Amino acid sequence: MKNKICFKLLVILFLIFSIQSCESKEPEKTSKLWVEAKSSKTEPLDVLDDANSSVSYSRRNAITNAVKKCSAAIVGINVSSYVELTRRDPFDIFYDDPMFRHFFGNRGRRTQKYEIQGLGSGFLISPDGYILTNHHVAGNASKIIVTTTDGKKYDAEIVGADKTSDVCLLKINVKNFPYLKLANSDDVITGEWAIAFGNPFGLFDLNAHPTVTVGVVSNTGVNLIQDDRVYKNMIQTDAAISSGNSGGPLVNALGEVMAINTIIFSTAQSQRGAGSIGIGFAIPINRVKEIVDELKEKKTIDRDFYHGMEVREIDEQIQKYLNIEKSDGVIVFSIERNSPANDAKIEPGDIILEIDGMKILRQDDFLINVLDARKGQKLNLKLLRDGKEINTVLTLKSRKKR
C-alpha cells in the first residue's frame, strides 16, 4: 500500500514539474528581453522529433498541445496612420504666371491628410507586455490597439522598429501575461511540422481567438528583397498565411517560436487583401533575436550609410567583353570619389565574388549583404581583378553633408 502511495506521489510531482505552458511567471533573470526555449539549448532534439512523430497517434497530439500552449500569447493588432497626398489642380501649369495668380490666387496644389487603417498579428515575448510584430504592420503607425485573447484592448507604444529587417517591438502596460519562448531557428528541418497563428482578415476581432493553420517547413535559407526590406534566410511554409497574419508566430510542434510570419506569394487578391496559395515566408527567430534587444535599447538601427559604387550583374555581353568563363559575382561599374568604396581601393571592372564569406552570384546577393549592414560596419570583400583574387575591407560610412 505504501509503495502505491509513493508511486502516485512521484507521478503527481513529475506532472507538476514537467508541464510546460506559456508561462505567466517571471522569466529567469537575464540581460535579454526574450526567453530561449530549453529544447533549443539543453534538451536533445529528440524531444522535438518525438513531438512531430506523435501527431498521427491521436486526436490530442503535439499540434493540439502546441495550440493550447501558445494561443493565449497571440494578439490582434489594429493600427491607424496618416499619409499626406497632394492634389494637383488641372490649371496647375498656369500658376507660374504672376497675372494668373493675381486673379485666381496661389492654389495650384493642395495637400490633405488621410487616415489609413490596417491590421496584423503579434505575440508576447515577456510577461510584462513586450510584443513582436512586423515593421510593415505597426512600424509607422500613429495609433496602435492590441487585443488579447481575453477580449481586452490596450494602447500600445512602439519601443523600436527597423524597416530593413521588418521587425517591430511594441509594449503594452500589463503584468504576469502569458508569453512564448523562442526556439533555435538554425535547427529547423525542412519537412517538420509548422503551426501559424494570426489574425487573417481581422478574424481575431470576432471572438478574440487567433486563427491556427498547420503545414510543414517547405524550405529554409531563402533570401528576398521587397520594398527596401531585406528578408534573409527566410523560412518557407505551406501553412496558410493570408493578409492580417503578418507579425504572428510560426511555431514548431513544441510550441516554440521558429519565425515571424511576414510575406506571401499569392494569386488570390481582393480588396480585403491576399489569400494563401501555400507559399509563405517567415523571418527566422534567430535573426529577430539579434535585433530585438538592440531595438529595446536604441529604438532603431542606424543604417544611414552608403558604399559609393554601382554594381551590375554579369551578362553574356560583359562576359565576352572581359573574356571570362563564369558569370558568378557582380561587376563594379563605377566608383564615387572620396567614397567608402574608393577608400577600400575598389576599382571599376572589379568583380565582387564574396562578402563576409557569402558567395555573390547575382545583384540581389550583393544588395542583401550590404543593405542589411549597419553604419560603421566593416565588410570583407573578395574581388577578382585581372584574373587574380584580392581581399579588401569596405567600411560603410554616412554620406558627408554639403
Domain extents for the chain?
39-82+114-301, 309-395
Mean predicted confidence (pLDDT) in 168-177: 95
pTM for the structure as a whole:
0.80
- Inform me whether the pLDDT recorded for 232 exceeds 90: yes
φ/ψ of residue 397, rounded to 5: -130, 160
Mean pLDDT of 35-53: 70
What's the confidence (pLDDT) of residue 10? Answer: 47
Please state the rounded mean pLDDT for residues 199-217: 91
Given this structure, which CATH class describes domain 39-82+114-301?
A: mainly beta
Q: Which residues participate in catalysis according to the annotation?
A: 136, 166, 246
Mean pLDDT over 111-118 rounds to: 77
pLDDT score, position 99: 65
> pLDDT, tens digit, for every residue of 263-316?
988 766 666 667 677 899 999 999 999 899 999 999 999 999 999 999 999 988
| pLDDT at site 15 | 42
pLDDT at 20: 43
Residue 6 pLDDT level (bands cut at 50, 70, 90): low
Q: Which CATH superfamily is domain 309-395 in?
A: PDZ domain (2.30.42.10)
For range 159-180, the mean pLDDT: 96
Average pLDDT over residues 158-182: 96
The 10s digit of each residue's pLDDT in 210-222 is 999 999 999 999 9
Please check the confidence at residue 157 and state whether its pLDDT lies above 90: yes
Model pLDDT, residue 89: 58
Q: Band of the pLDDT at 57, cuts 50, 70, 90?
A: low
